[in-house]
Amino acid sequence: MKKNILLGLISILVIGLLAACGTKDESADNGQAAEGDATEKVLKMGTSADYAPFEYIDTANGDEIIGFDIDIANAIADKLGYELEIVDSDFNGLIAALQSNKFDFVISGMTPTEERKKNVDFTDVYYVANHMIVTTKDSGIESVEDFGGKVVGVQLGSIQEELANELAETSDITVESRNRIPELIQELQIGRFDVAIIEDTVAKGYLEKNDNLTGHTIEADAEEAGSAIAFPKGSELTEEFNSALNELKENGELEKLIIKWFGGEE
pLDDT number for residue 101: 96
Which segment of 38-47, 158-167, 180-189, 238-247 scores lowest on mean pLDDT?
38-47
The string of DSSP codes covering 147-160 is -TT-EEEEETTSHH
CB within 8 A of 142, min separation 6: which ones? 133, 216
Q: What is the pTM of this model?
A: 0.72
Question: What are the structural domain ranges in the chain?
Answer: 42-128+224-262, 131-219
Quick check: 30 pLDDT over 90?
A: no
Nearest residue to 154 via CA among 120, 187, 124: 187
Assess whether pLDDT exceeds 90 at residue 165: yes
Least confident of 186-195, 221-230, 237-246: 221-230
CB-neighbour burial class of residue 23 (10 A; exposed 0-12, middle 13-18, buried 19+): exposed
Tell me what pLDDT residue 31 has: 35
Instruction: For 64-113, write each residue's pLDDT tens digit.
Output: 999 999 999 999 999 999 999 999 999 999 999 999 999 999 999 999 99
Domain 131-219, CATH homologous superfamily name and number: Periplasmic binding protein-like II (3.40.190.10)
Instruction: Please report which confidence band the pLDDT of residue 33 belongs to, taking 50, 70 and 90 as the band edges.
Output: very low
Residues 98/87, Cβ–Cβ less than 8 Å? no
C-alpha separations of 250 from 69, 146, 246, 254 in Å: 18, 42, 6, 8
Please tell me the predicted confidence (pLDDT) of residue 61. 87
pLDDT at res. 201: 87
Q: What is the pLDDT of residue 6?
A: 45
Report the topology of domain 42-128+224-262: D-Maltodextrin-Binding Protein; domain 2 (3.40.190)
Residue 39 has pLDDT above 50, yes or no: no
- Tell me, what's the pLDDT at 184? 96
71 vs 65: CA distance, rounded Å? 10
Of the spans 9-23, 31-45, 200-214, which averages the highest pLDDT? 200-214
Grouping H, G, I as helix, E, B as strand and the rest as coil, residue 7 is helix
